[in-house]
Amino acid sequence: METKTNIIDLESIRKDFPILTRKVNGKPLIYFDNGATSQKPQAVIAAIEKYYTLENSNIHRGIHTLSQEATEAYEAARNTVQHFLNAEHSKEIIFTSGTTGSLNLLASSIGKKHINQGDEIIISTMEHHSNIVPWQMLCEEKGAILKVVPINDKGEFLMNEFENLLSDKTKLVSVTHVSNTLGTINPVKEIIAKAHQKGALVIIDGAQAVPHTKVDVRNLDCDFYVFSAHKMLGPTGVGILYGKESLLNDLPPYQGGGDMIKTVTFEKTTYNELPHKFEAGTPNIAGGIGLAAAIDYMNKIGVDKIEAHEHELLSYATKEIKQIEGIRIIGEANNKASVLSFLVDGTHPSDIGMIIDKLGIAIRTGHHCTEPLMDRFDIPGTARASFAFYNTIEEIDTFIHALKRAIKMLL
Ligand code: PLP
């Protein structure tokens, strides 16, 4: 296969993803919907299958061999995530159901402990609904105020405006590391430092960052970092909440139930230590193990190489798409991840999506769970191609050709 980039061994990598060999509508699948969820390598599928085939058992309280093996595998997965993020302790890694689960946990626990009437919470214009709605619900409950950092026409976070919004009333800042709609990579280290100067806590939504770039939570100095496994080669239904130990210790638990307790009487319950305090009930054991397999797979290729290859894909696709008449790119930040959102004059994104699906090409169309961002650009939605490291230059050529055909049919 002609790849025109030699940063990674694409031919062998693509063989690791069984789904990439299938046909859709009679054409070889071209999967450009990685922002929604990535495909899974055989190593991840095999790890999940091995768990259910040979190790399936409930964790933590069992004394029998299977339970101990399952517990060891699950806790080893936690250690893998710890090293992936460069967290100080494995107890700072909480397994959740995903980014949305992690953010709702934080809204509930931080809300109970730290948010009062008149307090302010800052987010940005480019947040996913899952980093908007939990804060709106909390503000409504507590009488707190939600403030929103504007962006410029290129889709970049406006640092000056952020500084103007920060005040002694700011209790929390929650912003995305990478925008799922625009691809913008936000200067989160600077955002965190400025928020800390005002004594605010900072949450970073890393759902679109961890699949593409190295994240070091200690270097960033974020208080909390959240992401989903399924966008970074892992299974659905599992995600991570990283939090600094002292802050997590200080927060009340989210849900009550098994595993999160130390002792229970009808008079009083005492809570378990980290990380179990935030993990009530039987978790997604296979999911945690699958996530660790995904991290191992990414590490084997090298996250720096993944990033470099995806950067080439984005540059090439951007250059090619700009040559099509009537194209408007939404999101032209200087620092961008491999997301290409666009509109074509005189056409509707969903018509384009439907036509190129007939040619085996999967892109996403709509508001991408960022309706306020669509309002900012005064558009109903976009067509979005989002690339992963297993995508090729040749696939982009086929996509551009298909796009031209679709436009011809529609105009
Ligand atoms: N945040 C961002 C930036 C996202 O892109 C997404 C999903 O698209 C989410 C949060 C929500 O992730 P999940 O649906 O896996 O909880």
Q: Any idea where the domains of the chain sit in the sequence?
A: 10-31+302-410, 45-299
Give pLDDT, residue 2: 44
Give pLDDT, residue 4: 54
CATH architecture of 10-31+302-410: Alpha-Beta Complex (3.90)
Range with lowest mean pLDDT among 4-8, 111-115, 241-245, 391-395: 4-8
Alpha-carbon distance 116 to 180, whole Å? 31
Buried b or exposed e, range 259-283, using 16+ CB within 10 angstroms = bbbeeeeeeeeebbebbbbbbbeeb
Q: Furthest-apart CA pair in the chain: how many Å? A: 72
Give pLDDT, residue 146: 98
> Nearest-CA neighbor of 384 among 310, 317, 334?
317
Q: pLDDT per residue over 205-237, tens digit each?
A: 999 999 999 999 999 999 999 999 999 999 999
Give pLDDT, residue 3: 47
Tally Cβ neighbours within 10 Å of residue 54: 10
Give pLDDT, residue 1: 41
For the chain, percent of residues with pLDDT exceeding 70: 99
Tally Cβ neighbours within 10 Å of residue 50: 15
Bridge partners, 243 (sequence order): 224
Q: pLDDT per residue over 121-152, tens digit each?
A: 999 999 999 999 999 999 999 999 999 999 99
45-299 is classed CATH 3.90.1570.10? no
Cβ 228 under 6 angstroms from ligand 1: yes
Mean pLDDT (the chain, rounded): 97
Q: pLDDT per residue over 294-323, tens digit each?
A: 999 999 999 999 999 999 999 999 999 999
User: Which of 128, 179, 233 has most ligand 1 atoms within 8 Å of its beta carbon, as the pocket-test mutant?
Assistant: 128
Q: Per the omega criterion (within 30 degrees of 0), is the bond before 349 cis?
A: no
Alpha-carbon distance 213 to 225, whole Å? 14
- For residue 344, give the 3-state DSSP assignment: strand
Determine the residue type at 45: I
User: Which of 180, 227, 291, 373 has most ligand 1 atoms within 8 Å of its beta carbon, as the pocket-test mutant?
Assistant: 180
Domains 10-31+302-410 and 45-299 share a fold: no
CA of 239 to the centre of ligand 1 (A): 10
Cβ 312 under 6 angstroms from ligand 1: no
CA of 313 to the centre of ligand 1 (A): 22
Pairing of strands 224-228, 201-205: parallel
Contact 155, 185 (CB under 8 A): no
Contact 11, 1 (CB under 8 A): yes
Bridge partners, 341 (sequence order): 330, 384
Please state, in angstroms and as integers, the Cα–Cα distance from residue 252 to each residue in 32, 258, 260, 277, 278, following that order: 40, 16, 11, 9, 9
Q: Mind telling me the catalytic residues? A: 369
Band of residue 398 on the pLDDT scale cut at 50, 70, 90 = very high
Buried b or exposed e, range 195-226, using 16+ CB within 10 angstroms = beebebbbbbbbbbbbbbbbbebeebebbbbb
Q: pLDDT per residue over 15-26, tens digit each?
A: 999 999 999 999
